[in-house]
Structure 1
Amino acid sequence: MKITAPRLLALLGAVVLTWYTFTLAPDLADRDRRAAAARADAVLPPTTVLPDDQHPAAQQPTTSFPATGKAFIGVFTSAGTHDFTEAAEFARQTGHHPQVYEFSADWKSDHFDAGAINRVAKRGMLPMIAWEPWDHTAEAKEPRLRGEQPTYRLSHIIDGSFDAYVRSWAQGIKSLHYPVAIRFAHEMNGYWYPWCEQSNDNRAGEYVQAWRHVHQIFDAVGARNAVWVWSPNISYANSTPLAGLYPGDAYVDWVGLSGYYGTVGKENYQSFDRLFNPSRTELRRFTRKPLVITEVGATDAAGRKAEWINDMFRTLPRRRDIIGVIWYQAVKEIDWRVGTSTASSAAFTTGASASRYQQRWEPGVPLRRR
C-alpha cells in the first residue's frame, strides 16, 4: 500500500484518538471525580467519630435526636453514598449542614456495605436508607407498568424467598452500633412500585404482612439500632387508604410523607399545609408516632419556589409533631434542587438558620421515637 500524506494523517489521528480514549479521557474523568470529592469533603468533611472507633467522643450523650422542640433538615440525593457533591452544594447554598442523608438501595443491585453507610455517618449525618424491594434497572417507562415485577411480589417477601438477603442487612445494620433509619418500601399507597397493593398482583393486607415479616427478622438478629420509617406518599384520588397499610406502632418508629409542589397534575401553587396536612390528619387517626417529611421539593417554573420555601418554614413550628424535613436535592423531570435561584437559596438559608434546626446529629445520640 502506497504511503501518502492523507494516510499518514489518518493513522496519526487514529493513534491520537486511541490515546485520548483509553489514556487521557479516563485520567481527566478521574481527576474531575477527585476534584468533586475534594470540594465535597471541604464542605462536609468526614470527621465524626463512630462508636466502634474506641474514642472518648463516642460516649453516650443523654439527650435525644431531635430533642424536644427541635427538628432536623436533611437531604436526599440521587448519587447516594457514591458522591456527596449535591449534599455539599446544599450545605454551601443554604449554610446548613444536613443532619440526615437519605439514599436509595434496591434489593437486586445493592448488598449491605458498612463502608458506604459509615461514609455518611462520619460526615455527621444520620443515614436513612430508602430500602426498595425491586430491580430499579428494570423499571418500565410506562407509569402503569412500573410496579409490575413478579419476582418482588409481596407474597414472595412473606413466604421467605428473600429472608437470606434481609438477614444479611439486619446483621450488617446491627454491626454498625449506631442508629440507621430504614425507610422500607415507601409510597406503598400508590401504584408505581412492585410492593404497592394496587400493582404486581398483590393483595390487600399483604403489605402489612411483608413489613412485619422483615421487621421480625431484624428483631431476631438483634438489630435494635434500626429505626423503622413507614412512609406513604401524600394521599390523592384513588390512592390506597393509609390505615389499612399501617403495620402498627410496635413495628414503626417514625412515620413519613412524600410530597412536592409542582408535580404533574399539581402544577398550581399549593402551600406546604395544603399539600401535607390532609394526609397528616389522616394518619393521626391511627398513630401518634413522630412525623418526618421524607421527600419534599418545589418547582420554580412559576417563579414561586422562594415563596413556597418561606411558607414551609413559617408552617413547621406550628406542626410540632413534624420532627424533620428531607429536601430532594436532585433533578428528576424537574430541577428540585434548592439553589435553582438566589432567591430560593436565600429563603432556605433564612428558614434553616432558626435555632430549632441547629442540633447536630451524633452517632451515640438515641433517636426520638415518640
Structure 2
Amino acid sequence: MTRFTAAKALVAVFAVLLTGYAFVVGPHLAGEQQRRRAAAVDAALPPTADIPSSGPGTAADDDAPRGTFPDRGEVFVGIMTGEGLHDLSEAADFARRTGHRPQVYQFAQDWAHDRFDAERIDDVARRGMMPVVAWEPWDHREEAEEPQLRGEQPDYRLSRIADGVFDAYIRAWAEGVASLDYPVGIRFAHEMNGYWYPWCEQSNNNRPGDYVRAWRHVHRIFERAGADNAVWVWSPNVHYANATPYERLYPGDAYVDWVGLSGYYGTVGKENYQSFDRIFSASEARLRRLTDKPLVITEVAATDAAGRKAEWITGMFRSLPRHPGVIGVVWYQAVREIDWRVTTSRDSVAAFARGVSAPRHRVPWSPYDEPRRRL
C-alpha cells in the first residue's frame, strides 16, 4: 500500500492550486488585463467618427466632406510600434503622454504569418489614424542574428515575387484593401537599397532590376483588384556608402504615390550626434533628382545613449520647415536593440509635445480625405 506522506499531500495541494490557476484564476486575470488595456486605448484614442462602410459592393458616402491629407503647409506626425495591429496600447500611451493623436499608424506585416484583417485595420482608421502597412515579403521569425545573413531567405527571392509565386497571397491583400473605403498606405519592401532584407538586390541572390520588376508586378495585381485606395510608399533607407543607388530601384512615378526615407540617430555609423538635417538632407536631394513625389520620413527615432534625445527631437521639429517636400514623419515608437521610444524620459516627452503642438502638425486625418499625391 502506498503511504500518503506529508510531502505527497503538499504535492497534491500544489497540483490542485496550479490547476485552479491555469483554468480559473489565470484566464480571469488575463481577461481583466485585456479589458484594462482596451479601456486605456479607448480613453487615449477614442473613436473619432464612423468609417465608410467596408465590403464588396459598398461605397463611401459621397456627401461626406472631403479634404486633402495633409494639405499644403501641413505635416502629419505618426508612429510605428512593435505591436502593430495586435495591440494599440503603445500608441495609446504615446498619445496620452505627448497629447498628440498620431494621424498615421504604421504596422509591419510579414508574408509568412500575417493575413489581411479588415477588422483590425478598421479599428485603426476608426480611431482617426490612417493605416500604413510596412509589407514585408519574408519570414521575420527566421531572421538570422548575423547582419550579413539577415537577407538570406531564398523562398522570398525577388524573382519569385515577379514570377507570380505569391500571387494568391498578394491578390488576397489587394482585394481586402479594395474592400476598405478609405486610403491605406502600402509601404512594400522598404529599405531595399541596403543588404539586410531578402528583397534587397544586394542579398538573397537577387539581380539588378529584380526589385523594380517585383514592385510593378505587385502594383498591377492591386490595380486589377480595383484597389485605387492604396497609397504606394516607396521607402529606401537614407543613402550610405555601398548602398544600392536609388535610381536603380525606383519603379517610376506611375507606380508610386509617396516616397519615404528611414533614418536614425544612433544606428551603426551614426553613434555620434547627428542632426535631422545631417541625416536626411543629402538623401532627400538624391531623391529629388528622381521624382517630385511627396516625401514621408517613414521611420525616424533617436537614441538617448548620450542623453541628447530631447535635444534631437527639438532640432527635428525646428528643421522640418526647411524641408517643404516633407509631408509627414513617422516616429519609431518601439524597442529594437535600442529603446527608440519618445517616452523614455520626461525631457523627450516634453520636447516632442512642444514640437508637435505647432499648428502645422495638428491636422486631423479623416477616412474621407484624399491623400496628397503632389507637392
TM-score (norm 1): 0.97
Post-superposition shift, 1:101? 0.2
The equivalent position to 1:188 in structure 2, one of 184, 187, 192, is: 192
Post-superposition shift, 1:29? 2.1
The one-letter code sitting in structure 2 at the alignment partner of 1:9 is L
Deviation track 1:84-130 (CA, whole Å, cap 9, x = no partner) reads 11101111111111000000111111111111110110000000000
CA contact (8 A) 2:78 2:329 kept: yes
Deviation track 1:267-326 (CA, whole Å, cap 9, x = no partner) reads 100000001111111111111100000011111110100000000000001111100000
Question: How far apart in 2 are the matches of 1:59 and 1:318?
Answer: 37
Post-superposition shift, 1:5? 2.2
Partner in structure 2 of residue 336 of structure 1? 340
Question: How far apart in 2 are the matches of 1:250 and 1:55?
Answer: 25
Question: How far apart in 2 are the matches of 1:268 and 1:281?
Answer: 23
CA contact (8 A) 1:59 1:364 kept: no
Partner in structure 1 of residue 309 of structure 2? 305
Which residues of structure 2 form unaligned runs of 5+?
Answer: none
Partner in structure 2 of residue 211 of structure 1? 215
Q: State the SS of the aligned residue for 2:342.
A: coil
Partner in structure 2 of residue 273 of structure 1? 277
**What aligned pairs does 1:1-370 form with structure 2 within 5 A after superposition?**
1-52=2-53, 59-370=63-374
CA contact (8 A) 1:256 1:291 kept: yes
Deviation track 1:315-339 (CA, whole Å, cap 9, x = no partner) reads 0011111000001111111111101
CA contact (8 A) 1:48 1:121 kept: no
The one-letter code sitting in structure 1 at the alignment partner of 2:5 is T
CA contact (8 A) 1:49 1:55 kept: no
Post-superposition shift, 1:205? 0.7
Query: Percent of aligned positions with the same letter in both sequences?
Result: 64
Post-superposition shift, 1:41? 1.1
Question: How far apart in 2 are the matches of 1:318 and 1:158?
Answer: 39
Question: How far apart in 2 are the matches of 1:162 and 1:44?
Answer: 36
CA contact (8 A) 2:295 2:327 kept: yes
Question: How far apart in 2 are the matches of 1:254 and 1:146?
Answer: 27
Question: How far apart in 1 are the matches of 2:66 and 2:44?
Answer: 28
Deviation track 1:141-176 (CA, whole Å, cap 9, x = no partner) reads 111111111111010011111111111111111110
User: 60-69 or 302-311: which moved more?
Assistant: 60-69
CA contact (8 A) 1:50 1:58 kept: no
CA contact (8 A) 1:229 1:252 kept: yes
Question: How far apart in 2 are the matches of 1:266 and 1:202?
Answer: 28
CA contact (8 A) 1:43 1:91 kept: yes
Question: How far apart in 2 are the matches of 1:349 and 1:199?
Answer: 40
CA RMSD of aligned residues (A): 1.5
TM-score (norm 2): 0.96
Which segments of structure 1 move beyond 3 Å, counting only runs of 4 or more?
53-60
Q: State the SS of the aligned residue for 1:97.
A: coil
- How many correspondences in the alignment? 370
The one-letter code sitting in structure 1 at the alignment partner of 2:245 is P
CA contact (8 A) 1:49 1:58 kept: no
Q: State the SS of the aligned residue for 1:222.
A: coil
Which residues of structure 1 form unaligned runs of 5+?
Answer: none
